[in-house]
Amino acid sequence: MGNVNDLRRSELAAFLRTRRERISPSDVGLPAGQRRRTAGLRREEVAQLAGVGVTWYTWLEQGRPIHASAQVLEAVARTLRLDPVERQHLFRLADVPDATPDDESCLRLSPQIQPILDALSPLPAQVLTERWDILAWNMPYELIFPRTPQQPPAERNVIYKCFTVPACCRGYENTDDQRAQMVAQLRANYAHHIGDPTWTSFIKRMEAASEEFAAMWAKQDVAKAASHLKIFRHPLYPRLPMTSTSFAIQSAPGTRMIVYTPADVETRLALEDLLESKDRGSARFPCWEAHHARELELAASSRPSGDLT
């Protein structure tokens, strides 16, 4: 059996051939011609349209060990009319970092995700990106974090809220080790996005907003997602222990659904009561008046010119 590089190049060669063969000459403004042994474009036509050498492209499609730059792969991807998933697959098979900005805050979830979240009630649940941007949530989650729908994308981020919202105003207890674990997981995810300006700007923004975050980030610790016991808080129920469980969403790579399961019967009953309570939306922590104004001020001062991207 060949090594990993040989297998990757073999996969790359097969992938390029199938993408080339599905495009007819007329699709790209070329005459159909005669004596075409196979359907689709010829190798020399792909090379010409992509602006690369015929020999170089032939070697690439043959799986030879040659260097491919991101710019050249981008040209090949455009010529072969690859969709975003296919384009990402091409870069991975070629073992070339993709420097195209990956705006996770603009990811679109399939319409089936929200009904799934809603059906999980009374369990709080949310969908996060690798950067901890909050993409979707259900009503039980909104009961604990009631201002989530009104927050702009720049503030709709779990890491941002953990390090900028005062402890007395947070929807759950957030210990030092939990925050360190979150930053370590963010650092591991960052390895998939090195060079992405949207990630770079987010990290710089967090370092400016929180000295604690900056210190944890500088430690270079890494971690993977894991199940944790979290103590949630609500003005009507000050202690709601729940266990977090993470599920990858295959239709949106890089995202995950996190579901919080009550650790005891009392917590489940409390969640059910909150869902039925008429006072659930108006209840505030005692410190809310004093800290809400400060929270808005911090958000305005640290907010970039555009959305958090």
- Evaluated on CA atoms 136, 142, 145, 147, the torsion sign reads positive
Q: 165 pLDDT band (50/70/90 cuts)?
A: confident
How does the average pLDDT of the chain come out, rounded? 84
Confidence of residue 290 (pLDDT cuts 50, 70, 90): low
The pLDDT > 90 percentage for the chain reads 39
Q: How far apart are CA 139 and CA 182, in angstroms?
A: 24
pLDDT on residue 104 = 55
Most confident stretch, 95-104, 149-158, 293-302: 149-158
The confidence score (pLDDT) of residue 309 equals 40
Q: The pTM is what?
A: 0.66
Residue 35: per-residue pLDDT: 66
User: In this predicted structure, what is the pLDDT of residue 306?
Assistant: 47
The span from the first CA to the last CA of the chain, in angstroms, equals 43
Closest listed residue to residue 245, CA positions, set 232, 227, 262 = 227
> To the nearest whole percent, how much of the chain has pLDDT over 70?
84
* Residue 169, pLDDT score: 74
Question: CA-to-CA distance for 246 and 35, rounded, in angstroms?
Answer: 55
pLDDT above 60: residue 11: yes
> What would the mean pLDDT of 147-151 be, rounded to a whole number?
84
Give yes or no for a cis peptide into 111 (omega within 30° of 0). no
Mean of pLDDT values over 58-63 = 88
| DSSP codes of every residue in the chain | ---HHHHHHHHHHHHHHHHHHTS-GGGGT----S--SSSS--HHHHHHHHT--HHHHHHHHTT------HHHHHHHHHHTT--HHHHHHHHHHTT----S---GGG----TTHHHHHHHTTTS-EEEE-TT-BEEEE-HHHHHHSTTGGGS-TTT-BHHHHHHHS-GGGSSB---HHHHHHHHHHHHHHHTTSTT-HHHHHHHHHHHHH-HHHHHHHHTT-------EEEEEEETTEEEEEEEEEEEE-TTSTT-EEEEEEESSHHHHHHHHHHHH-TTTTT---TTHHHHHHHHHHHHHHH--SSS--
Tell me the two tokens of residue 111. 């319409």
Q: What is the pLDDT of residue 89?
A: 87
Q: What is the pLDDT of residue 106?
A: 53
pLDDT digits (tens, 9 = 90+) for 65-106: 888 888 889 999 999 998 877 888 888 888 887 656 555 545
Reply yes or no on whether the pLDDT at 305 is more than 60: no
- pLDDT reported for residue 224: 87
Domains in the chain with CATH codes: 4-93 (1.10.260.40), 105-302 (3.30.450.180)
Quote the pLDDT of residue 287.
67
Average pLDDT over residues 145-163: 87
Q: Which of 6 and 130 is assigned the larger pLDDT?
A: 130
**Mean pLDDT value across residues 10-36:** 81
- Assign 205 a pLDDT band (cuts: 50, 70, 90): very high
The residue with greater pLDDT, 39 or 133, is: 133
Least confident of 23-27, 50-54, 204-208: 23-27
Q: What is the pLDDT of residue 1?
A: 43
Summarize the confidence of residues 229-244 as an average pLDDT.
91
